[in-house]
């Protein structure tokens, strides 16, 4: 870990201003992924700006009947919030399916969105990885890809986004609120927040340099039966092979997003009308153009069967 200077930001404007002044600075909140990566020098900030004191730790009702979740709300608190449990069950369930109790106590809403991939080649500085070191190649393409993307990948990168929370937020049409270094706020629909790797896999999101997440908003509740089904090799404390966030309405219509399959939470709205026809129809459409590899081809069948399980649960 490189030596770094450390400051506690006192207000949001000061935080983004400090970031603008220091090219190799990073914000730190929960730190559970950033410090992990700093120890391996996969992340090498020269300055850390601690944003924990900025007060973005509340969950508030919005004027249109939705919820505004402060960027610093811990995963535990978000999962435990009565409104989230009642009205956005898929989000609560996704959160508690992720990581461990200890990590959820520290990890924040914004940090969860900004998690970097768990691709083993990204995590091993001895291996080529275009995400970690652009232009160095992709070790996973010729190597071990069981955990990796089956759709939306590129010749440069087949990493997956590891978050469970983000998959639920994607199905709920959340928006990410930010403050840029000039002090301007903007709102990014979650669909546009995470990127596909293309030829720039080093860039995970559409956040600008020095842009600070302040909140995530959820639109008014959409009802339905909300299911988050996460499938992994061990029963807990593991990243998803495939996960499904589904909201199923009484008439059989609904929404679905998939985790563990792509560089971002994977949702194809055009596939959702097929929900009444069953899981296979949805998956055939949502995964049209999928390019699985030998190690992870099973994820397509698994996605279908996991969705079927989620829909069965919703019917029950």
**Between residue 219 and residue 278, which ones bind other proteins under the rule CB under 8 A?**
229, 231, 233-239, 241, 278
Is residue 279 within the footprint of other proteins (CB under 8 A)?
A: yes
Q: Cα 242 to chain center, whole Å? A: 13
Residue numbers 73-132 binding other proteins by CB under 8 A: 76, 79-80, 85-86, 89, 92-93, 96-97, 99-103, 105-106, 118, 120-121, 123-128
Shortest distance (Å) from residue 21 CB to other proteins: 17
Angle between helices 279-286 and 298-315 (to 10 degrees): 140
Tokens for 105, please give them: 């106590």
Nearer to other proteins, 68 or 229 (CB): 229
Q: Cα 8 to chain center, whole Å? A: 26
Nearer to other proteins, 171 or 176 (CB): 171
Count of residues interacting with other proteins (CB under 8 A): 75
Is residue 62 within the footprint of other proteins (CB under 8 A)?
A: no
Shortest distance (Å) from residue 191 CB to other proteins: 25
Strand intervals (E) in the chain: 5-8, 25-28, 47-50, 59-61, 67-70, 175-179, 185-189, 212-218, 225-231, 242-248, 254-259
Is residue 161 within the footprint of other proteins (CB under 8 A)?
A: no
Nearer to other proteins, 66 or 162 (CB): 162
Shortest distance (Å) from residue 212 CB to other proteins: 17
Q: What is the DSSP letter of 108?
A: B
CA distance 107 to 105: 6
Nearer to other proteins, 119 or 213 (CB): 119
Shortest distance (Å) from residue 240 CB to other proteins: 11
CA distance 91 to 254: 16
Shortest distance (Å) from residue 213 CB to other proteins: 18
Among the residue ranges 2-10, 12-20, 206-214, 246-254, the one whose residues contact other proteins (CB under 8 A): 2-10
Q: Which residues contact 193 (CB under 8 A, 6 or more apart)?
A: 113, 176, 205, 206, 207, 264
Helix (H) or strand (E) run with residue 170 in it: helix 165-171
Count of residues in the chain? 316
Shortest distance (Å) from residue 12 CB to other proteins: 18
Nearer to other proteins, 139 or 265 (CB): 139
Residue numbers 13-42 binding other proteins by CB under 8 A: 28, 31-32, 35-36, 39-41
CA distance 79 to 75: 6
Place of tokens 């055009």: 270
Residue numbers 179-218 binding other proteins by CB under 8 A: none
CA distance 198 to 211: 22
Shortest distance (Å) from residue 3 CB to other proteins: 4
């Amino acid at each position: 870990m490189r030596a770094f200077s450390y400051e506690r930001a006192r207000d949001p404007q000061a935080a983004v201003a400090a970031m603008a002044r220091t090219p190799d600075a990073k914000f730190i909140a929960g730190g559970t992924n950033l410090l992990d990566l700093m120890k391996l020098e996969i992340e090498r900030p020269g300055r850390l700006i601690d944003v924990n004191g900025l007060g973005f730790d509340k969950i508030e009702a919005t004027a249109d009947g939705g919820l505004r979740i402060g960027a610093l709300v811990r995963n535990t608190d978000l999962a435990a919030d009565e409104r989230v449990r009642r009205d956005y069950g898929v989000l609560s369930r996704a959160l508690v399916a992720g990581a461990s109790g200890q990590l959820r106590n520290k990890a924040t809403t914004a940090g969860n969105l900004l998690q970097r991939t768990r691709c083993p080649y990204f995590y091993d500085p001895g291996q080529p990885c275009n995400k970690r070191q652009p232009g160095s190649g992709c070790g996973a393409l010729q190597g071990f890809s069981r955990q990796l993307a089956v759709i939306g990948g590129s010749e440069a990168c087949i990493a997956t986004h590891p978050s469970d929370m983000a998959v639920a937020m994607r199905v709920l049409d959340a928006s990410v609120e930010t403050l840029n270094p000039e002090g301007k706020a903007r709102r990014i629909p979650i669909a546009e927040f995470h990127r596909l790797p293309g030829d720039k896999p080093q860039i995970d999101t559409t956040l600008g340099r020095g842009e600070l997440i302040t909140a995530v908003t959820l639109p008014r509740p959409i009802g339905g039966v909300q299911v988050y089904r996460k499938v992994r090799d061990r029963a807990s404390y593991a990243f998803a092979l495939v996960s499904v966030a589904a909201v199923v309405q009484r008439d059989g219509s609904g929404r679905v997003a998939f985790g563990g399959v792509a560089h971002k939470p994977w949702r194809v709205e055009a596939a959702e009308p097929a929900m009444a026809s069953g899981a296979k129809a949805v998956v055939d459409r949502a995964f049209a153009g999928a390019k699985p590899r030998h190690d992870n081809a099973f994820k397509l069948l698994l996605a279908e069967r996991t969705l079927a399980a989620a829909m069965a649960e919703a019917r029950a």
